[in-house]
Structure 1
Amino acid sequence: MALASRAIGLLALMLVLPARMAEGAAPAQGTSERLAPMLLQLLDEYDRAGEDGVRRMAAARRIELRESARGALLPVILEPSAGISTRQIDAREIEALGGRVDAVSESFVRVLVLPSEARRLAELNGVRVVRTPTLATPVSGFGSIVSESVALTGANVFQESFTGAGVKAAVVDLGFQGLSTVIAAGELPANAITMDFTGTGIESTTPHGVAVAEELMDMAPGVQLYCLKIGDEVDLQNAATYLSQNGIHIANHSVAWVLAGYYDDTGPINDIINSSHDNDGVFWSVAAGNAAQSHWRGPWSDPDQDGRLNFTPTQNTLGLGLSDGTITVFLNWNQYGNSVTNLDLYVLDGTGAVAASSTNPQNGPQDPAEAVSFSYDPARAPYTAEVVWVSGPTTGLDITLFSFDNTFSPAVASSSTMDPADAHGATAMGAIPESSYAQTNPPLEPYSSQGPTTDGRVKPDFCAPDGTSTYTYGTLSSYGTSFAAPIAAGAAALWQQKLGVVAPSEFVSTFVNFARPVGAPIPNSLCGSGELMVSGPTVSCGTAGELIVVLPALLWLRRRRERRALRGSDGTDLARRPQV
């Protein structure tokens, strides 16, 4: 699918959603139809509750407002009409309507505008849709603190000959808060190159990217590190262009995006990753996602014919787990490009009262997507979600719900990968606890997203450890598939030093050759081809001359047990103290 229009639902995973006219033509009637439904939700909230209302809704959907002397500025995405390039959209016309161009990529324009003036952007020539940004969320050894993944994957043995020297590798993430502190502590290199595509500052938003970079550098301590901060699809596309222009062939993206497509290798986020992979030869290692317990997928079912989706044969509500803050729930279905079925999403409290709702229209051009966000109040719990049919056919309708903040009951772990983990140009990484990695057929983390994709392909591609150690998050505390992904990126950097610049498929083939199977058959939709191993077993001679085969992970397990005995009188792990 081309980088086409998308409607968006928001949070710290991130989300997405579509209109039409020729350049130079007078604005057609019904220009308000160019305003995507989720943008209209924000603007309606402004009409109802003013700037404070917009701030609350934007924060819940993880849209970062910009401050100005005139008030809070809302970032919106413009998609050009067919045959119009982003460079042809007139910045002066945007300014005349109250907006300001903030960033431009090949397919999108990001504009900052006061909520009170945002509706006027629908009058722009050459623009077919105005919408909110697609939202993304973090899928939450270099130096003295070395990730356990280095030994578990055999990278420590490989590092005796190759460290990634001469190789460029990028971490493309939502923020690098604390980067200078971690560099000063010696856990990331002082020559790290940074680029902020968001305009909000490299060391803001989240420390997530710093911890991810630590894992990559531990695996390949000789690489030239690039830290690229992005916030939406404009930034992601510009980051991909930057990789191409700077000869960077390895990139890590531990971020998940929802509502950009139906998790089937299509949509604007996947298009960016696939183009970078296919045309520029970039190996993208991405997090599979942490959504196995916060995902539901199934066909439309309404045996009692009450117009509500049944999540089980006898249950037409979806239980929402406990939360200490804001809950956001996302709904979409398999009608991108022609949404002929109209569905609405409601959240009910324990008394059955509506706590939140999303009732966007779907009658053709709109994306088949809804999103709600609300503040969790224990006094009103338990909360449940309902999907209500409004109009249109239900035959063949396939439905998906996700949440970033809480679990579902019932949850469906299968097909819980998000974009871009479902992209063919991404190597998607699931997570296995570091404490279990040396075992035969170890269990996945219970939250690690599983395949297959909604179009039936096997994902994730491999698994790597999580629950490992970084300066940013502490000892054995870096949990999530976010920290499995940079293990593969670091492994690719080691192999690139050995092989030179090769096609991304060469790295994948190498990893398949060395992977340790998990589950059956191989590959499977739990762990793909198995546990990532940088190299094969170590072979040495025993005392009687016999050959001894030592798996790197088993060698690590023995050393880990030995290290646990090395503790000072204060309980400090002496093996983790910096060497002087």
Structure 2
Amino acid sequence: MSKTSAVARRVLATAAFVALVASLTTSPALGDEPGTEGPTTGPDGAPPPVSVEPEAEDGALADSGLRQIHADWLAGETDLPDVVDDAIRVEVVHDPGVTDIGAALASVGATDIVTLTDELSVATVAVASLPDAELLPGIGYLRLPVLVAPPVDPGVGVLPDDPGRLPGVPAEPSPQRLAPGPAEIGYYGDDILKRVRTAGWHKAKYTGKGVKIGIVDYFSGVHWDYAYSYKDLPKRPTGVFCSFNGTTCTDSVFWNQGSHGVSVAEAIHDVAPGAKLYLATVSTTEDLRRAIDYFASKGVKIVSRSLAAQFDGPGDGSSGPSVDLLNYAVKKGMLWVNSAGNHGVRNTYVSSAGRTVYYGGYWRGTWTDQDEDGWMEFSDPRGNVLPSEMMTSYCNAWIQGLRWNDWGTNRTDYDLYVYAWRSGSWQAVGSSANRQQSGPEVSPIEIPANLTCSGNEEIRFAIWKHHDGNGTANDTLELMVNGLMWDYVSNAGSAGQPYADSKNAGGISVGAVNVSTGVIAEYSSRGPLNDGRKKPDVSAASEFTSVSASDFRFTGTSAGAPVVSGVAALILQKNPKWKPATLGKYLRSTANRDRGAKGTDNVYGSGEIRMPLINTKKPKVSGTKRVGKKLKIIAPKWSESGVKVKYQWLRNGKKIKGATSKTYKLRTADRGKRISVKATASKSTYKTVSAASAKTSKIKKK
């Protein structure tokens, strides 16, 4: 089996990462010190979890996924995920600034060693040598590579029946299917152009021409060709890149069956038809770093990414591989546009008992264990449901992780268990039990890498406290999935996924508004983030027509991000010397209209992206440049009709009091000075803009 196909099993086949664990049937003894054994009872009366990992002895691997793989390899298993020729690609978390990590890893036989950031490297290590590698000086711990891209089309909106506490939940209705239209530009995506108001910019020849945009996603050749047949995409992208777990893909980038990435490209092409498109498909942090380097080598100036990622940092935009990579791209001159996520709370239905059931992709809360059995109790923030030790979801909900805010020393150690409903009872089908107590480098994050469920099978999450550490009193926990959980879900903080949490002015996170109404979508993720910052940065049109999308509509914040990317291309064509931070500031301040609460808020960000007026022909001053003579304005032109214009005459760049008509009679005070005029245009729902003429030669005496 090739490296590409091995990692693809973990990344793309389903959100259930496969491991052969069914043969382990004893209750776990997960502790690595006295008094910290694993649970001997299950949550909410469920049976104790079937062991899905070996006991963690002193010196055992801190990452439970690697610990499981190592134990299975020792037990003689031969078909293990990501293991090729008895070796596996791992991420190495190490002390910052250490210069001999490569030499240290090489001493235990590691190969293909690559440094990604000051604190993260990757290497291929023999499975037998994993424990030895983790004990090397300067190395904190080894872990399975964090995944930066979820499976495409995970079934968001389709809820399975709940055989337990909840009644059956119907599937979310699909958008109305559109009939295929004429093969001409504008039938699909025309609603974007009207909403974003690109017509005036296109008429002024701003189409993104000369701007290169990189798209990180998954792509189907069939969908691309179909969109091309309707002239909604070029025949082929300008360039492509594909890498899985550090290995270049052997097949074309067009291997996926989903329409997601093609719909992203189509939206960009609708808004910026003159831009050149570069495509990249990746799976890990290492792959994304390689893609950024590829984009930089091609002169890409905008990166559009409409994907989620597993937790890799505190979610405050300050640290973690995702923060480092985004900053790396911005330093290379690229604006980074990322979807904020579809983790917002939505109503699904009202039960026969009159109870409203809520669902979303995010939960946030504090540690609560009133019955003191070691299992955390989830509480409904709306008071509709009694506390429960289990959170309901389904297997296709790609798990981004459990994270808590204990990033200091002596961290609280929580474990995440996953149950599935089978044959009338709950059975444990996976867990993540990293050992935060083994060292300060082990992040307070748990991501199950060994689920044995599949498809729309219903699952439930349960959180076990393995070790008190410095106590639970100040711990805030977050659980996030790319998909759906229900009942115990939250809005505030749901915009804190990796790459969307950036503090960098050259990074933009995008929420979703309905293309017809401009109203925020219920699912659109919201702030504040863990450090109190407001997110998303902006919001943009979504739920618009798309020939490549299922049901011919592209929805989610995945749709909003490429709209912003296309808008950025138009602006960058007009201002080609702008740096990412300048472009990002313009998108946040000028190329949008305030929505929701006045000013920047945690729902719409600074506002909905809408193209501003632009001056297509500057005003000019004509007439004799002599005291006593009259100057007049040759009127400017604007990107839209129906514009109201006010004028202000200027003397050496400063206002001339009362000089606001279309003509100006030169005065004695103007002698030896240079005169110009500023035109200020306004139109309802547009932000006011100004344009100034060139200064005249010096005014002569009579």
The bucket for the TM-score relative to the shorter chain is 0.7 to 0.9
Shift of 1:485: 0.5
Which residue pairs with 1:270 in the alignment? 323
Matches within 5 A, 1:126-525: 127-138=139-150, 146-147=188-189, 148-161=191-204, 162-174=206-218, 178=222, 181=225, 185=229, 186=231, 187-190=233-236, 192-198=238-244, 199-200=248-249, 201=251, 202-205=253-256, 207-265=259-317, 266-277=319-330, 279-292=331-344, 293-312=360-379, 314-322=386-394, 325=396, 328=399, 330-336=401-407, 338=409, 340-349=411-420, 351=425, 353-363=427-437, 364-365=439-440, 366-372=442-448, 374-376=451-453, 383-388=460-465, 390-392=467-469, 393-417=471-495, 418-425=497-504, 426-437=507-518, 442=519, 444-474=520-550, 476-511=552-587, 512-525=589-602
Query: Retained in 2: the 8 A contact 1:432–1:445?
Result: yes
Which residue does 1:6 correspond to in 2? none
- Supply the distance in 1 between the matched residues of 2:73 and 2:299 (Cα, whole angstroms): 44
The structure-2 alpha-carbon separation of the partners of 1:517 and 1:82, relative to structure 1 and needing over 3 Å to count, comes to closer
Distance change in 2, residues 1:378/1:124 (3 Å): closer
Q: Does 1:101 align with 2:145?
A: no
Q: Whole-Å Cα distance in 2 between the matches of residues 166 and 220 of structure 1? A: 10
Would you tell me which structure has more helix in proportion to its own residues?
A: 1
Q: Does structure 2 conserve the Cα–Cα contact (< 8 Å) formed by 1:182 and 1:188? A: no
Change (3 A) 1:361 1:31: closer
Amino acid at match of 2:147: L
Post-superposition shift, 1:132? 1.1
Percent of residue pairs identical: 24
Q: How many residues get paired? A: 501
Summarize deviations over 1:283-333 as a string: whole Å, max 9, x none. Answer: 11101011221111122233444433232285142431355x576472111
User: C-alpha distance in 2, partners of 1:413/1:122?
Assistant: 38
Kindly provide the amino acid, as one letter, of the partner of residue 317 in structure 1: E
Shift of 1:336: 2.9
Separation of aligned partners in 2, 1:286 and 1:165: 22
Counterpart in the other structure of 1:23 = none
Distance in 2 of aligned mates of 1:452 and 1:505: 22
TM-score for both structures, normalised by structure 2 = 0.63
Looking at structure 1, the residues matched to 371 and 523 of structure 2 have their Cα atoms a distance apart, in angstroms, of 32
Distance 1:470 1:192, change over 3 A: farther
Name the CA distance, whole Å, in 1 between partners of 2:602 and 2:304.
Answer: 21
| 285 and 386 in structure 1: CA distance in 2 versus 1, 3 angstrom threshold | same
Residue 486 to residue 303, structure 1, CA distance change in 2 (3 Å) = same
- Residue of structure 1 aligned with 2:77, choices 50, 57, 65: 50
In our comparison, the structure showing a higher alpha carbon Rg is 2
Post-superposition CA distance 1:260-291 (Å, at most 9, x none): 012111211112112432x3342111010112
Displacement after TM superposition at 1:128 (Å): 4.5
Structure 1 residues 492 and 371, CA gap change in structure 2 (3 angstroms): same
Partner of 2:325, secondary structure, is helix
Partners of 2:559 and 2:123 in 1: CA distance: 33
Shift of 1:100: 4.7
CA deviation map 1:53-110 (0-9, x unaligned):
x34xxxxxxxxx48x6x58x74322345543458x7259948x83x652866455544
Q: What CA deviation, in whole Å up to 9, does each residue of 1:451-493 have, x standing for no partner?
A: 1111100100111122223343245422221121111111111
Contact 1:296 1:408 in 2 (8 A): no
Please, which runs of 5 or more residues in structure 2 have no aligned partner?
1-9, 16-56, 154-182, 345-359, 381-385, 614-638, 645-680, 687-702
1:75 to 89, 92, 109: 89
Cα RMSD of the aligned pairs, angstroms, is 3.8
Q: Distance in 2 between matches of 1:229 and 1:452?
A: 30
Give the AA of the match of 1:233.
T
Q: Would you say the 8 A contact 2:527–2:535 is kept in 1?
A: yes
After superposition, the Cα gap between the structure-2 partners of 1:475 and 1:340, relative to the gap in structure 1 and judged at 3 Å, is closer
Contact 1:308 1:316 in 2 (8 A): no
1:527 offset after TM fit, Å? 1.1
- Structure 2 distance, partners of 1:385, 1:163, is 51
> How many angstroms apart in 2 are the aligned matches of 1:126 and 1:329?
28
Please give the secondary structure, in 1, of the residue aligned with 2:516: helix
- Rounded to whole Å, the distance in 2 between the matches of 1:456 and 1:89 is 38
What secondary structure sits across from 1:308 in the alignment?
Answer: coil
CA shift in 2, pair 1:445/1:422, >3 Å:
same
Secondary structure, aligned partner of 2:584: helix
User: Separation in 2 of the partners of 1:159 and 1:195?
Assistant: 30
Partner of 1:573: none
Residues 378 and 391 in structure 2, CA contact (< 8 A), matched pair in contact too: no
Distance in 1 of aligned mates of 2:461 and 2:595:
35
Report the alpha carbon displacement of residue 495 of structure 1 after superposing the two structures with TM: 0.5
